[in-house]
Structure 1
Amino acid sequence: METGIHELTAGFALDVLDADERWAYEAHLEECERCRAELTSFWETTEALAIATSGPAPSLDLRGRILTAARVERQVVVPLEPRRRRLAPVLGAAAAIAAVVALAVGLWATQLSGDLDDARLALERERQAAAVLADPNARTIALETGDGRLVVEDGGRAVLVLDGLGPAPEGKTYELWIFEGENASPAGLFSGRDGLDWVGLDGAVDAGDVVAVTIEDAGGVEVSANDPIVESAPV
């Protein structure tokens, strides 16, 4: 169990683990800072996207209070109680506060831009990524360049989990690629973010393929002349 216990984060967040897996993961979570951070980040992203697809834009007064709360929240560190039964409430409260702040600011920005279609598309991609990460039969592939991992389902759906990549430079975007031998196919664009990030690939990843990320001009390219900044081992 310990070897693959880090891979249970998505399943725990989605409440799809069996009783033994959940007990083992909760016990592990008390000792693993990486998994606590990944779990909180997972909850923040999915809940923020879920609510960002509907509802009215906040007033200027509410926006000010939201942003103030966000600045305060970044300074708060929530310690874990030593008893396992206290773990879920403590993490749940911290994630709920962070998620409310994130989703409210995200909703405000989305309403101002009028880009709800993009928000719904992003939500659907997050749902698909969550399904892959929660699949107990999915394989985990190490990265040869960059920090993180590649998770691939038997059917070829794949999610790239990245740690510390950060947002793309201004005027640039990150582009995903699936390499089949020397042939590279574009597999989606993403803007990146601080801390943990995960993004689903457009297209199936087959045995022997390599997944990579390059930095491109906004809008992406069909053929890249840039060296990958992230590259997986062969699947």
Structure 2
Amino acid sequence: MTTTDPHTLTGAYALHALPDDERAAFERHLAGCADCEREVAEFTATAARLASASGMAARPALREQVLHRITTVRQAPPGPAAVDQARRRVPRLGGPLRWALAACAAAAAAFGGTAVWQYERAQEAHRQTAEAERHADEVAGVLAAPDARTRSAQLAGGTGTLVVSTARGRAVFVASGLAEPPRGKVYELWFADGGRMRPAGLLKPDRASQAVLMRGPVEHASGVGITVEPAGGSPRPTTEPVGLLDIPS
């Protein structure tokens, strides 16, 4: 059980960086702490701004100017007189001050590392969100296509519906009420294509109902199968299908 002060976890929570047990404990704390709720909202907004930040491209002539200066400007090393003068101008630091400056430098380095880590996490969250939105758009495009055709069958304790758009050349598999696969296993989709089974994606094992855009084009596939495979999927079926559906015409 963690003993970390929950008030220090707002940033990590906003970036989805807490382990499951700490996240659950923090959410219980968050329900009754207005200060932490406000900080989480501010961190979340900041992460979103960082994720959408973009750099400004340098002027094309700037590179040539820099390269030209490198060849014409040479920094001479300081002579002995300059070094002695600099030493006289810099006061010797006492013990406490020296340690204070060292602590400040360490804190600045740690803060900089944290900022980079937070930026990278924000970028990853932005990428995952964009990918999820793109997937949802593609699924919706197939389901709403004017030429969409469907075929349904009972399988794995629930219902599987295949939706195919010939114009788009894509298919969506809609699962409803499927039984959870055995621990460490997943349902894998396949296209029956020219006498071979072509991998076409995985269903999320913790969701009884979901819509999956099948991987790859429909092309000349005659049907779709679903099998139970090890987590991560298999390059070819290792079990008998729990369901088979013909491609709707």
TM-score computed with the length of structure 2 as normaliser: 0.46
Larger RCO (CA under 8 A, 6+ residues apart): 1
Larger radius of gyration: 2
